[in-house]
Amino acid sequence: MKVQEKTIVVTGGGNGIGRELVLALLARGAKVAAVDINDEALQETVKLAGDNRSKISTHVVNITDKAAVEALPTQVIEKHGSVDGVINNAGIIQPFVKVNDLDYEAINRVFKVNFDGTLYMVKSFLPHLLKRPEAHILNVASMGGFLPVPGQSIYGAAKSAVKLLTEAMYAELINTSVHVTVVFPGAIATNITANSGIEIPKSANGDQKKSGMKTLPASEAAKQILDAMEKNKYRALIGSDAKFMDFIYRLSPKFATGFIAKKMAGLLK
């Protein structure tokens, strides 16, 4: 679905990939409803939009609040007249610890933001999208949603749930006007750790540098995500690391699991 002249809702629009998605959508001629829990971050996104700021509406919403999300479609339609697409981008990671050391409060928080928030958005907007001549739902999963990453096991489980939800929705909506895409970003240069309230263990810094792990700029990730949306792709791998690990995991899941475990070992010391 071409985004020009369409109204697209983006969660997590106040920073990182979400902010870059908002700015890139505006550059492609779309109108955007930017959703985030942080109003100050949203206003910074508006400021960065420059001459396109008139095409943005901002909505301060906690996506784990089902009632607040259910009220959002009416707010977006009142502002823009319609809604044509939803990009579920908002997400948080977990503390870099093993399952045995992770408390249930952190577990529940990670699932509520990553999975429940995505589900609430889908359930709230889908009835409106089905009325449009053409519409699109794009859900951001993660490389950790198909590849087990030690120290991010619960985050990966939540993103794996997003993956399967999205793929099942694709099948359910295949004969409708609503396109569905799931994307799997690898390492992207964002501040997701800080936004998640997480600190990377200092002991991991040297190991990450030795691994040669490179991060993709958030602006490039946003471009690739929107390209996938406009091409109505079923799935898209964002970044060379995601593409490489997808290939390796399909070839030998056990080898890939051991490989990524060695790469991430410094995070769990």
Q: Are 222 and 27 in contact (CB under 8 A)?
A: no
Catalytic residue among 155, 170, 234, 249: 155
Residue with tokens 């999205």: 166
CB atoms closer than 10 angstroms to residue 28: 16
- Distance, in Å, from the CA atom of 101 to the CA atom of 79, rounded to the nearest integer, reads 45
Number of CB atoms found within 10 A of residue 84's CB: 22
Give the residue among 118, 131, 214 at the shortest CA–CA distance from 169: 118
| Other beta carbons less than 10 A from residue 38's beta carbon | 14
Q: In the annotation, is 249 catalytic?
A: no
d(CA 41, CA 240): 29
* Residues recognised as catalytic: 155
